[in-house]
Structure 1
Amino acid sequence: MSVLPYFETFAAVVEKGSFTAAAEVLGVSKSVVSKQISHLERHLGVQLLQRTTRRLHLTQAGEVFSSYTQRIMSEVREAEQSVLPLQSEPQGRLRISAPESLAMSLLPEVLLDFQQRFPLLELEIHITGRFIDLVEEGIDVALRVGELEDSSLVARLLMPCGFHACASPEYLKKHGSPAHPDELSKHNCLIYSQGPQSGGWFFKDKKGKGIHTKVEGNLRSDTGNLLMSAALNGNGIFIAPTYMVASALKEGRLETILDDYAPTTTGLYAVYPYSKLVSTKVRAFVDYLVEAWGD
């Protein structure tokens, strides 16, 4: 049987939180909604919803299935809009994942201008340093630093980006500047706990050989802005992407160290699931970031 209409019913139930509200949106009776959900559960062989007298709850299977149906229905709506000239402007909800370091630096300004350019779009921003599963968590596009490993995703370069070990001039004057990564063991290191380098920092020598250095310090956090504030206040050394520390370096509030051992420059990428037809809202957002940050 064709289950696509049942996907729409299930998505409406999840969004509205009840069979009655979903029925009103879909223009059908409550009994039709209930029957379609039951047919869908039998077809899939799993229970998607737990029904109580007060409200509905998604089962674990329902949560996973919901993330897919949201994307499917979003693409269906995008397909409809793509052939309607009067609805060619990007619209609807755009779910974006971004690291906290970007959200505290470059992102706010460009989001404001982007929304002014595309007023029919509703932005939903998820701030995390984790490399999340975009499809499972219903994310349209993620902003990430580093090379792409998942071949099912598309990555578009937004800007070159390196990582820099930094400290304030006051800290370096008091404690000295390390000449080699191994000397970091004598320093207070401010550690980002969500990154791949939480257990140690990685550098490269002039020949390209990797150097792994174990670091310790009195502050560990999943909030990059907190670490940067501590570094600016002379509390220690931390590693951050170029876009996060560029202004502080230019103003002399931070100084880079171990420049001869800095990792190879990578990039800031927009990452989104592969599709033959990229949605207009994703394309508009990524094109805008390339235009804003490409230089």
Structure 2
Amino acid sequence: MEWKQIVSFYHVARLGSFTRAAGATFRTQSALTQQIKALEEELDCLLFERIGKRRLRLTSAGEKFLAFAESIINKYDCLMEELAELKGLQKGRLRIAAPFTTLYHLFPEVLREYTKQFPWVELTVLDRSQQNVIELVKNGDIDFGMALESVVPKELAKIRWKKVEPVLLTPAGHPLAGTKGVTIRQIAQYPLILPPKNGEYSSRMQLEDLFQELGINYRIIMESSNVELSSLYVEMGLGISFATIVRDLPGLKHRKLEFISLSHIFEPAYLAVVVRKDKILTSFKRAFLNVLLEDSR
């Protein structure tokens, strides 16, 4: 078994295509095909099912070999980074992904401090939805992801970072402003700005379940997947909205908004750092976690 065969298999499996994998590895499609064929002959099993002319699907053996290939490639990358550190070479890569609101409100100071300490690290930061963040971590495309603890599957590791509180967003001076223990019936009296109705936004589903359980009519005036966008239209007086926020963020203090706690209706949640359980962390990646967690303290 050769290293090039493992790398070729990994790219074909991840990209689902010999053509795309050939482009990613700068090899010809026929060379990749021969490498995979030789690998299958050595292992005495098929790694891919060919469905039609263009589609590929991993066999059960292929799925096991993909896990092996991912582990080997991850260890190789970490080894090269560790060897560079031993040689005193200042190079390495750190890849992070988080939703827009997290990046906008919580990351600037963290990244400013980290890049000051490690200016030689090749940093990549991606603005992605929570579900996309989870997939990127699963696939090994990023080192760390940020998501709510509640959406992190059991096969991934999570490190608690910041507490987030469920709140109702209203314009300043709104009739509900200052109301303690605001009720679902009171909320339903006003037009609502809610996240899209899909599995990624559990708060929308929880809220609608409560409305239906109590037999309350309500009106959705706008759907928005971005808290910044929602808060802009709340400020304009279009409707009221919901968010899970970290209290006392400087970026929120200048807004003409009221933040009414809904902790009596929804349980508080936590943002977490998400990482693969088999991830090997070099010193500069562990240092990023230290900077991040120190910021939360």
State whether TM-score is above 0.5: yes
Gaps in structure 2 of 5+ consecutive residues: none
Preserved CA contact (<8 Å) 1:161 1:268: yes
Partner of residue 97, structure 1: 97
Q: For residue 128 of structure 1, report the CA deviation from its aligned partner.
A: 0.6
3-state DSSP of counterpart to 2:288: helix
| Letter in structure 2 aligned against 1:160 | K
Preserved CA contact (<8 Å) 1:102 1:244: no
1:139 aligns with 2:142: yes
Distance (Å, rounded) in 1 between the aligned partners of 2:112 and 2:76: 28
Partner of residue 198, structure 1: 204
Distance (Å, rounded) in 2 between the aligned partners of 1:145 and 1:245: 19
Matches within 5 A, 1:1-295: 2=1, 5-11=4-10, 17-18=22-23, 21-22=26-27, 34-41=33-40, 43=43, 45-47=46-48, 59-61=56-58, 69=69, 72-82=72-82, 85-86=86-87, 91-92=92-93, 94-118=94-118, 119-130=120-131, 132-133=134-135, 134-136=137-139, 138-147=141-150, 150-170=153-173, 172-173=174-175, 179-193=182-196, 194-201=200-207, 216-243=219-246, 246-247=249-250, 250-251=253-254, 253-259=256-262, 261=264, 263-275=266-278, 277-280=280-283, 282-291=285-294, 293-295=295-297
3-state DSSP of counterpart to 1:7: helix
Q: Please identify, of 79-88 and 178-187, the stretch whose mean Cα deviation from structure 2 is larger.
A: 79-88
Percent of aligned positions with the same letter in both sequences? 16
Structure 2 vs 1, CA of residues 262 and 20 (structure 1 numbering), >3 Å: closer, same or farther?
Answer: closer
Distance (Å, rounded) in 1 between the aligned partners of 2:192 and 2:127: 28
| Letter in structure 2 aligned against 1:128 | S
Preserved CA contact (<8 Å) 2:167 2:263: no
| Letter in structure 2 aligned against 1:96 | I
Structure 2 vs 1, CA of residues 212 and 275 (structure 1 numbering), >3 Å: closer, same or farther?
Answer: farther
Q: For residue 113 of structure 1, report the CA deviation from its aligned partner.
A: 4.1
Deviations 1:237-282 (A, max 9, x none): 2122223883465346111225562533332210111127434454
Preserved CA contact (<8 Å) 1:157 1:268: yes
Deviations 1:59-111 (A, max 9, x none): 3549988798456413322034335612686613x332312221232224433
Aligned length: 275
Gaps in structure 1 of 5+ consecutive residues: 24-29, 205-210
Distance (Å, rounded) in 1 between the aligned partners of 2:99 and 2:24: 37
Structure 2 vs 1, CA of residues 188 and 90 (structure 1 numbering), >3 Å: closer, same or farther?
Answer: farther
Deviations 1:145-170 (A, max 9, x none): 23475332222122222221121114
Partner of residue 27, structure 1: none
Partner of residue 26, structure 1: none
CA RMSD of aligned residues (A): 4.4
Q: For residue 224 of structure 1, report the CA deviation from its aligned partner.
A: 2.4
Structure 2 vs 1, CA of residues 281 and 272 (structure 1 numbering), >3 Å: closer, same or farther?
Answer: farther
Q: For residue 218 of structure 1, report the CA deviation from its aligned partner.
A: 0.8
Distance (Å, rounded) in 2 between the aligned partners of 1:230 and 1:67: 46
Structure 2 vs 1, CA of residues 238 and 16 (structure 1 numbering), >3 Å: closer, same or farther?
Answer: same
